[in-house]
């Protein structure tokens, strides 16, 4: 029998259950998240001790490290953690909705939709419209792409397998559209876009952090609230409906949450691939299949994955700054092939 902890409000209108093991894993992941923030800010071309980093953050030193810590490194570290968290949770939601271990925002075309909108903005409107509108265009691209996938997959409801197959087809179309616009764009713009499409945290600023943070703060609680129904949906739509779940409403709300998280991540960091695929699998190994705790751990694991990838990107090949997406793809692509082989008899 698994040991559970129950949290209720005074009126018993809200009740949350967590396994003791899940609570311990979440606590460890949060601790690693905080340690990553300090260690990542310390490491670079010049090492700054973690104690000096903390003193600089809290404003109790002489100001000698202010520029390096507060302007160059801390925004980049925070952005890598937030982007990874958004992608990890987006992937966990998609795998729960579609009931397919191969699902992720990049596999079914959501990040592709955000990318084609963002590249279109840069190549066609870059000089005429403020660059501050890029995140909005990326989110709108992700939403429109998800809507197209959802409409095409609808047939008296949305079948998970139909959703993923149509998503793969739409992903191919968005990829072709992105390539076409890159060919038409000026050489300098195309070079910038290629780095962005690979996925990079290079040049991160506090503006990027302020762009992604409000979306995560708003969307994540909603995702956790609606994700409770995914435990019932795993047994099939008919049984979930019998248990009182409004399946299509919950599925639509969860898909919207996943799209918003993936879209904002792409908007500020480009298409960092495979994080949404890997993080939920690691989380499932750590805390099991209960979606409430699994979703939280997926976000924390995703954050640590992108943080490590970006740390390697900016330190392993100094003075070069390699896009973080190169490292996530280097791990994620073989992992995807492994999943295909492992689940070859289930599709």
1 within a domain of the structure (yes/no)? no
d(CA 194, CA 269): 12
Tokens at residue 319, please?
A: 């003075």
Mean pLDDT of 36-65: 86
Residue 6 inside a domain? The answer is no
Helix 20-42 with 50-57: angle, nearest 10 deg: 90
Q: What is the pLDDT of residues 205-251, one digit of tens each?
A: 899 999 999 999 999 999 988 887 776 766 666 666 666 667 778 88
Tokens of 3: 């040991």
Q: What is the pLDDT of residues 275-306, one digit of tens each?
A: 988 999 999 989 887 787 889 999 999 999 99
What is d(CA 275, CA 291) in angstroms, rounded to the nearest whole number? Answer: 18
Read off the pLDDT band of 5 (50, 70, 90): low
Q: Does the residue 91 lie in any domain?
A: yes
Q: CB burial class (10 A; 0-12, 13-18, 19+) of residue 344?
A: exposed
Supply the pLDDT for residue 1.
43
**Does residue 10 lie in a domain region?**
no
Q: Which CATH number does the domain housing residue 196 bear?
A: 1.10.3470.10
- Specify which of 23-37, 57-71, 223-237 reaches the highest per-range mean pLDDT: 23-37
Measured between alpha carbons, how far is residue 263 from residues 21, 137, 232, 258, 260 in Å?
32, 9, 27, 8, 5
What is the rounded CA–CA span in Å between residue 164 and residue 324? 26
Q: Cβ neighbours of residue 280 under 8 Å, at least 6 residues apart?
A: 88, 91, 92, 95, 294, 298
Span between the terminal Cα atoms of the chain, in Å: 33
Over range 157-179, report the average pLDDT. 79
Domain range for 207:
17-318
Over range 3-17, report the average pLDDT. Answer: 61
Mean pLDDT over each residue of the chain, to the nearest integer: 82
333 inside domain: no
Q: Is 153 helix (H, G, I), strand (E, B) or coil?
A: helix
- What is the phi/psi pair of residue 15, to 5°? -135, 130
> Torsions phi, psi of 203, nearest 5?
80, 15
- If one counts the domains in the chain, the total is 1
15: part of which helix (H) or strand (E)? strand 15-19
Residue 305 lies in a domain: yes
Is there a contact between 174 and 112 (Cβ–Cβ < 8 Å)?
yes
**Residue 334 belongs to some domain of the structure:** no
């Amino acid at each position: 029998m698994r040991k559970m902890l129950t949290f209720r409000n005074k009126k018993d209108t809200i009740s949350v259950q967590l396994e003791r093991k899940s609570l311990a894993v979440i606590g460890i992941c949060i601790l690693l998240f905080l340690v990553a923030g300090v260690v990542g800010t310390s490491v670079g071309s010049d090492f700054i001790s973690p104690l000096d980093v903390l003193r600089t953050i809290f404003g109790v030193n002489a100001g000698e490290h202010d520029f390096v810590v507060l302007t160059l490194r801390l925004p980049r570290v925070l952005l890598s953690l937030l982007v990874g968290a958004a992608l990890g949770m987006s992937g966990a939601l998609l795998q729960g909705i579609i009931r397919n271990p191969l699902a992720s925002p990049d596999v079914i075309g959501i990040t592709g939709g955000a990318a084609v909108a963002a590249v279109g903005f840069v190549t066609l409107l870059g000089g005429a419209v403020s660059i501050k509108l890029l995140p909005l265009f990326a989110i709108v691209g992700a939403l429109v792409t998800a809507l197209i996938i959802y409409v095409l997959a609808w047939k008296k409801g949305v079948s998970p397998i139909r959703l993923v197959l149509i998503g793969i087809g739409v992903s191919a179309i968005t990829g072709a559209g992105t390539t076409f616009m890159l060919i038409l764009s000026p050489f300098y713009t195309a070079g910038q876009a290629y780095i962005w499409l690979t996925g990079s945290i290079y040049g991160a600023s506090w503006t990027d952090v302020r762009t992604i943070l409000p979306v995560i703060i708003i969307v994540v609680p909603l995702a956790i609230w609606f994700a409770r129904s995914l435990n019932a949906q795993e047994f099939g739509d008919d049984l979930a409906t019998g248990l009182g779940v409004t399946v299509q409403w919950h599925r639509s709300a969860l898909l919207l949450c996943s799209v918003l998280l993936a879209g904002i991540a792409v908007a500020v960091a480009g298409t960092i691939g495979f994080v949404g695929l890997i993080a939920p699998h690691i989380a499932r190994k750590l805390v099991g299949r209960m979606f409430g705790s699994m979703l939280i751990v997926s976000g924390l694991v995703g954050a640590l994955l992108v943080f490590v990838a970006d740390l390697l990107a900016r330190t392993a090949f100094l003075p070069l700054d390699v896009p973080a997406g190169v490292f996530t793809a280097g791990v994620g692509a073989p992992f995807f092939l492994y999943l295909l082989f492992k689940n070859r008899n289930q599709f």
